[in-house]
Amino acid sequence: MSRYNFAYLDEQTKRMIRRAVLKAVAVPGYQVPFGSREMPLSYGWGTGGVQVTASVIGPTDVLKVIDQGADDTTNAVSIRKFFERTTGVATTTRTEAATLIQTRHRIPETPLRVGQIVVFQVPIPEPLRWLEPREAETRKMHALEEYGVMYVRLYEDITRHGRVAQTYEYPVIVDGRYLMRPSPIPKFDNPKLDRSPALMLFGAGREKRIYAVPPWTSVKSLDFDDHPFEIEHWDRPCALCGATSVFLDELIVDDKGGRLFICSDTDFCSRRRAASDPIPGR
């Protein structure tokens, strides 16, 4: 890999992306267009997140990569290997040991801390896209803070289903101003965005947008006074570590309807088990 620069991207490109990141941090929730590059991994596999990570990573960083909350899913492995090859930085699965966490679809269960950066891979950055397909229009709507259509959409859910039927990429207002799509994390993770001590960066490669939630910024999930925002609940704990109040994955274990619910966050789950298990690795 010696023919490639540190973290693959050339320094000029990194500077361009860092400028976009700085602007995104300065205007929380605002989607900053940037000159997204073609990356050696496919669009939809995290090209935006990889570019953001490549631009902010330094030799002393410790990187964690997760997909669906897990460190060992194929795409997480592939992206972690990419940075191991192109930067040689240390990697970890431990959330609190990481300085930089690239994620697809989840925020770790372990509370984040000051100084950490979380990089989200974003497929469709525009929260209004399903309501208005045209970029020229949605940019105008953001400029005018014209978000009524989104409330109408949520209201229509309530009339139809008795509740808001949006479960992931649940829309939020950042810093009281911009409507933002929090990548497709489940709404379960939305409260973790609010006043988080970590810096949250969102990269959409194919759509060429970067946005950010700086540390300690207010992130409010849209709701109504009589229909407050709620997150998912499971009526059982994790089958492996017994954790409650965490996001559970469902495994189908046989063809007779047998199911197992386990933590989506593999690091959180395995360390809880190790801590309570006198014989590690059982």
Partner 1 sequence: MYVAVKGGERAIDNAHRLLAEERRGDPAVAELSLAQIDQQLALAVDRVMTEGSLYDRALAALAVKQSRGDLIEAIFLLRAYRTTLPRLGVSLPLDTDAMVVGRRVSAIFKDVPGGQILGPTFDYTHRLLDFELAHLCAESPTGPMQAEEADAAAPVPRVMDLLDREGLIESEPPASEEAPVGDLTREPLTFPAARDVRLQNLARGDEGFLLAMGYATQRGYGRNHPFAGEIRQGEVAVTLAPEEVGFPIEVATITVTECQMVNQFKGSATAPAQFTRGYGLAFGQAERKAMAMALVDRALRGRELGEDPASPTQDEEFVLSHSDNVEASGFVQHLKLPHYVDFQSELVLVRDLRAAHGSTAPR
User: What positions carry a catalytic annotation?
Assistant: 29, 238, 241, 263, 269
**Which three-class secondary structure state does DSSP give residue 196?**
coil
**Nearest residue (CB) to partner 1, 54 versus 98:** 54
Pick 64 or 217: Cβ nearer partner 1 = 64
Residue closer to partner 1 (CB basis): 48 or 214: 48
Query: Closest distance between partner 1 and the C-beta of residue 261, in Å?
Result: 9
Q: Of 150 and 246, which CB lies nearer to partner 1 in the complex structure?
A: 246
Phi, psi of 93 (to 5 degrees): -105, -10
Decide if 43 contacts 205 (C-beta within 8 A).
yes
3-state secondary structure of 191: helix
Element housing 262 (H / E): strand 259-263
Residues at the contact surface with partner 1, assessed by CB under 8 A: 4, 8, 10, 33-40, 42-45, 47, 67-70, 72-78, 81, 104-106, 123, 133-136, 161-163, 165, 167-169, 184-188, 206, 208-209, 232-234, 240, 247-251, 253, 260, 262, 264
Residue 62 burial by CB count (10 A; 0-12/13-18/19+): exposed, middle or buried?
A: middle
Contact 18, 56 (CB under 8 A): yes
Measured between alpha carbons, how far is 147 from 156 in angstroms, rounded to an integer? 15
| Partners of 69 in beta bridges | none
What is the smallest separation between the CB atom of 115 and partner 1, expressed in angstroms?
A: 26
